[in-house]
Structure 1
Amino acid sequence: MCGIVGILGSGAQDHPKLPEALSIICHRGPDDSGIHSDSHVALGHVRLSILDLSPLGHQPMTYAEGRYVTVFNGEVYNFIELRAELENLGHRFRSRSDTEVLLASYSQWGVDCLQKLRGMFAFAIWDTRDKRLFLARDRCGEKPLVYRLTKDRLIFASELKALVQLDSVEPEFDPEAVDLYFHYQFVPEPRTPLKGVFKLPAGHYMVVDSESMQAQTKCYWRFEDAPAIHGDPVPAIREELDRSIELTLRSDVPVGVALSGGIDSSAIAALAAPKHQDVLRAFSIGYPGRPAQDERGMAEELAKKLGLPFHDVELDTQELVDFFPTLVRVMDDPIADIAAFGHYMVTRAAADQGVKVMLTGIGGDELFWGYYWLPASVQQTMQRKQGAQQWSPPFMVPFAKKFLSSRAGRFAASSPRMPKMISSAMRSLEAIATLDPARADYAVFYDLIQDFNDMIKLSQRELYTPEFKAAIPPDNAISPYRLDMKGTDNIQHAICRLLFDTWLVSNCLNLGDKVSMASSVETRLPLLDYRLVEIAMGARKTQEDHNIGPKAWFKEALKDVLSDEVLNRPKKGFTPPVEDWIHSLIGRYQELLLDGWLLRLGVLDDNHLKRHLSVYATSWPSAFLLYKALLLELWWRQVVLAEHPEV
């Protein structure tokens, strides 16, 4: 895994800011760096050496007597098999790197090489003969690629920090993107917070002609196209999961695993331990004095059973508060997921132990219905799509609330998390009653979550200046989950696609890449192997699994390696003490908001801001809004302006 930057068109050759842009992302590749420049293009690369640690893996790398030049970020996990296939076709290789295999694949098959690649990647290949630049991103969006395209120039980079350094356009907030951020806690791709700056979507490629500067962007993979699977998909899920873990363990450097007490990371650790030839280290995090959120005991117990050296990190509130401005710069995008701190610290602990590759369980909840509200999303969307006039009758809400209230004590005794879940369900029932059945072309999605609805109400009344609000369409907040059925009537596919395109890619994968690379650690995600995704999606063409229990297929596939106790544990996943942390951050940094760029640029209304500051201690909606505003303020200072405020 590495970092890349590039310029095509006007001013590319010997661009004075290219070395500085590379230095900004040197954490992504501390082992080596390089630049290729000619009259049309400039390509920069910083390298984190994972495969073939020799100088033969240096980038930018050329192939076919210099015709093709690439800068590549990521891993092609099946490079050994592809190399053998290419050698049979007459190709010869100098190195043992997957980068050279990528170049040979493009030389052999052109853009169709993407169908051959199994891995995570974002790369650019410059064709010196045809004067075309080819950029591509992996199927699920594990690796980032941001760009700006104007009439005479394309600039691109792995991170916004580097892109801003190269950009000659004055940075400006995109009001619609900012509004989406305040609702979702991230900006859904392909947008970014900056007007005119975009992300190449997952599963897409772009070809840019250097003469005309015309770009063609195409989708090369959709999981809706997965072949249908009839019958029990569990054996195929297990077989592909085993294969995915074998491939993601390929490395010439030490490998670790991020281990919580949950199903996903436990499964990866249990399946990886017997397959890995060297020491596989396990890393976990905990919160002193907070037993309900501390999973270290469960993680250490499994690590001991598997024979894995175990390392843990304790996180405390003061450490987060002191580190927060740096964390915002590390994340690169404004992502108001406070769990980022834990993910960063666990990769830093891995780096301290000499581990450069870490397997994580990201993707399991999104692929196998791990969130409590997803079954309701599928069911309600089905009913809405079928045109039912009373798909959520108002009279059902008081009935359901009465039922939950009467049994609250019994439910609470079954789990310490149950009271909070009951409270959330009660609030969601109220939200469901207000949904508009006329919106047949929209999924019933995040509006099942009360925090989302609270944010809609606040943004409509108590957030923006009148001028900023006027630039935002009325339905902007729900625009990302307008149904795109893509020629199918499969609601399970539609909801899963929405979850992938919003929460998974723009929050989880984006955050995971940035915080791990800040520690110069490559995270790999076995549960997002595209063939595993296609099996789940193919099975959903013939059968429903959203209503048979969370992760039913996944749990069944793991019965021989994980105990019933582990398989039936409630979801946590490094869950931090969110409310305490957020209140502490606001208390420390609120002065930045009162004299900040969000006020100067006319984004937030001064009176609304002061009101939220006066009530946040007793109002969670106000506290969460202020946290997102604070993070966005720091993001503008740290990432866009490259300031380091006195805080």
Structure 2
Amino acid sequence: MCGITGIFAFNLVGKFNKIHVTNATMSLSRRGPDFQDIYLDDWVALGHRRLSIIDTASIAHQPMWDESKRYGIVFNGEIFNYQELRDELIAKGYTFFSHSDTEVLLKLYIDQREKCLSRLNGFFSFCVYDKEQQSFFVARDRYGVKPLLYVFDEDKFIFASEMKAVLQYGIEKNIDHSSLYTFLQLNYIPAPDTIFTPVKKLMPGHYMTVRRQQLDIQPYYQIPYERGQENASGLSYDQAKEKLKTLLEAAVQRRLVSDVPLGSFLSGGIDSSVISALAARHKPDLHTFSIGFRDEKFFDETDYARAVAKKLNTQHTVFSLTNDDLFAHVHTVLDYTDEPFADSSALAVYILSKETRKHVTVALSGDGADELLAGYNKHAAAYRMQHPGWKETAVTSLQGLWKILPKSRNSALTNKIRQLARYSEGASLSAQDRYWRWASFADQDEALALLHPNLRAEAGLQEFMPRRNALLRTLPDRENINDILLTDMNVVLPNDMLTKVDLMSMANGLEVRVPFLDYQVVNFLFSLPESYKIDHDLRKRILQDAFRDVLPEQLYNRPKKGFEVPLLKWFRREMRSLITDDLLSEAFITQQGIFHYPEIDKLKKQLFSRNPGDVHARIWGLIVFQSWWKKYH
């Protein structure tokens, strides 16, 4: 796991930007604390920061070159089937000077060019430089576990693992107001767009070829899902359970390869418990890690995690935190975030990664299971909407009542009213509008009203709607659960969940591996009917049933909790002055000229009222943006 960056200059103007490659590489030091190296020639510069995982010897440092010195690579990620690929290449006559997966990837590309991508089982972003052809080949893994940002203009092509490295090249920091408009709704910015107009994100499952002022982007993978095939696998439920167990165990086993200490996150939920159970079969000394919240007992699942660890006989460590511990890291997380990203649970992931890194360099996680197997509240809501009974009909008919009742996350009653209001609102919308609304913290009108009137046309529907439609292209008018899961895999997973884990883990030099996103597991799960994944009583049905015999009984039949950072409490106490007198003050908002202060003022009044609803999430989004704006402007 590493940080990568590079530049291909097309002319003398672009060539001047090569001087920034050292600073760009150094800005990625937390992604790769073990080693740094840079390559320079007339038109190209490549930079690499290394976190040594496989073959920690110096001969595996990057940029790495083949023996002919024609091909060089910078690579971020892991290839889990590299030994098998290495053996195939040796049989073809290739020789190897290291034991690294980097060299295998480089020589597989030399042998097969872009076709190599379909052979890789792992997660990655990388660039191969061909000196003879004077070209870059740049690729990103199937599901977007690893990031890749780029700039392409008439003078140069720039790429990097993070925005902070891209900005070192001195690009114009022009805000994309349509991206800002999207951020105000979702609290993140989906690929391929970023907060800056010149910077783009390479989409998951795509590669780029760069040759002298020509950029060609092509897809190499999409999830093999055909709508209308109820059970493309042809397997019965029991057969499917057995195959899932086999595939997932193989995925975990592949991800145990490491030359440095390796452990597993163990939250106490089904997903991480299954991964830990499978890892413990092949690693008897497995170390597991949990994070607990002493002040938020409703969200504390450490008792469940301890029960799993006891059953699996792992070396278990619990990091027990107070709200003060969480708050102490707020500004650290804000400072590391180099594009507006306002998933507040990033705070917990940051602390978990920071503490885990003191013990191991690699951790397995259960990320991806919710998106693959219908684990979220919205999936249960969508299923009930598609299979309504008298309860669902009653909730929908009472939409007017839910609108006027108090809603917040502060108590079980007001939170239930909030959920019923969102359900009834969604029932009246089209499939695409419903998905977008349930993914959002503000609707389109609310987000647009927040922007300064001078910016609304620039950020508005003419630019935004084509972007939204592209993100929701997998949702037909009458969607089923698998359609929703496919959209989650394309939208929520790479742009929110995986972005959060990559940023917060790599900020602490920790590699996180995600067995559920082994492409063989993903392809199989999308061949199964929705009835194998969810019904009226159970989410992630096949996963829960397949591993019921290896996990403690108390993990089952309990509500999904997740974790919510106590934003509302902080905003009303510790951060009140920051909100009222600094970042969201009338003076600053007016001087800045991006937001419409009367709408900001409405949100602040709602925040401090008895009926805050979900406003704290919107306030957090604004705080994240304002903190980011101050740093970069």
- TM-score of the superposed pair, with normalisation by structure 1: 0.87
Residue identity in the other structure for 1:257? S
Superposed, which structure 2 residues align to 1:603-622 within 5 Å? 603-618=594-609, 619-622=612-615
Contact kept in structure 2, 1:27 and 1:519, CA below 8 Å? yes
Displacement of 1:400? 5.4
2:420 to 416, 426, 429: 426
2:171 to 159, 169, 172: 169
Aligned residue number for residue 444 of structure 1:
434
Aligned residue number for residue 305 of structure 1:
311
Tell which deviates more after alignment, 612-621 or 119-128.
612-621
Aligned residue number for residue 360 of structure 1:
365
Q: Note the residue ranges of structure 2 that are not aligned, 5 or more in a row.
A: 403-409
Aligned residue number for residue 203 of structure 2:
201
Displacement of 1:570? 2.2
* 1:459 counterpart = 2:447: yes
Aligned residue number for residue 235 of structure 1:
242
* 1:280 counterpart = 2:286: yes
Cα separation, partners in 2 of 1:598 and 1:399, compared to 1, 3 Å: closer
- Alpha-carbon distance in 1 for matches of 2:100, 2:162: 24
Classify the secondary structure of the residue corresponding to 2:618: helix
* 1:256 counterpart = 2:256: no
- Alpha-carbon distance in 1 for matches of 2:181, 2:552: 44
Displacement of 1:36? 1.1
Contact kept in structure 2, 1:77 and 1:250, CA below 8 Å? yes
* 1:633 counterpart = 2:620: no
Cα separation, partners in 2 of 1:348 and 1:245, compared to 1, 3 Å: same
Contact kept in structure 2, 1:325 and 1:634, CA below 8 Å? no
Q: Percent identity at matched positions?
A: 31
Q: Note the residue ranges of structure 1 that are not aligned, 5 or more in a row.
A: 384-390, 406-415, 642-647
Residue identity in the other structure for 1:127? D
Aligned residue number for residue 509 of structure 1:
498
**Per-residue CA distance 1:241-272 (angstroms, 9 max, x = gap):** 00010011110000111111100011111111
Cα separation, partners in 2 of 1:570 and 1:417, compared to 1, 3 Å: farther
Residue identity in the other structure for 1:200? L
Residue identity in the other structure for 2:186? Y
Aligned residue number for residue 532 of structure 1:
521
Superposed, which structure 2 residues align to 1:76-475 within 5 Å? 76-166=79-169, 168-209=170-211, 211=212, 213-224=213-224, 228-232=232-236, 233-276=240-283, 279-353=285-359, 355-377=360-382, 396=393, 401=398, 419=413, 422-432=416-426, 434-435=428-429, 437=430, 442=432, 444-448=434-438, 452=441, 454-461=442-449, 463-474=450-461
Residue identity in the other structure for 2:621? K
Displacement of 1:331? 3.4
Residue identity in the other structure for 2:541? A
**Per-residue CA distance 1:268-323 (angstroms, 9 max, x = gap):** 1111112116x321111111232211112221222133222222223333333343
How many residues are paired up? 608
1:497 to 483, 486, 492: 486
Residue identity in the other structure for 1:268? I
- Alpha-carbon distance in 1 for matches of 2:589, 2:59: 47
Residue identity in the other structure for 1:184? L
Classify the secondary structure of the residue corresponding to 1:15: helix
- Alpha-carbon distance in 2 for matches of 1:14, 1:169: 9
**Per-residue CA distance 1:455-500 (angstroms, 9 max, x = gap):** 4453244x11101112122383795356424999985443222212
Contact kept in structure 2, 1:392 and 1:432, CA below 8 Å? no
- Alpha-carbon distance in 1 for matches of 2:19, 2:162: 19
Aligned residue number for residue 409 of structure 1:
none
2:507 to 510, 514, 518: 518
Contact kept in structure 1, 2:448 and 2:460, CA below 8 Å? no
Aligned residue number for residue 623 of structure 1:
616
Cα separation, partners in 2 of 1:490 and 1:399, compared to 1, 3 Å: closer
- TM-score of the superposed pair, with normalisation by structure 2: 0.89
**Per-residue CA distance 1:324-369 (angstroms, 9 max, x = gap):** 222023233322111111111111111222x100111111101100
- Alpha-carbon distance in 2 for matches of 1:14, 1:624: 39
Aligned residue number for residue 26 of structure 2:
23
Displacement of 1:201? 0.4
- Alpha-carbon distance in 2 for matches of 1:186, 1:13: 33
Contact kept in structure 2, 1:144 and 1:158, CA below 8 Å? yes
Calculate the aligned-residue CA RMSD, in Å.
3.1
Tell which deviates more after alignment, 22-31 or 602-611.
602-611
- Alpha-carbon distance in 2 for matches of 1:445, 1:486: 9
Tell which deviates more after alignment, 496-505 or 73-82.
496-505
**Per-residue CA distance 1:1-60 (angstroms, 9 max, x = gap):** 000011011444882221111111101111111111112211100000000010111000
Contact kept in structure 2, 1:281 and 1:309, CA below 8 Å? yes
Residue identity in the other structure for 2:366? G
Cα separation, partners in 2 of 1:433 and 1:551, compared to 1, 3 Å: closer
Residue identity in the other structure for 2:370? D
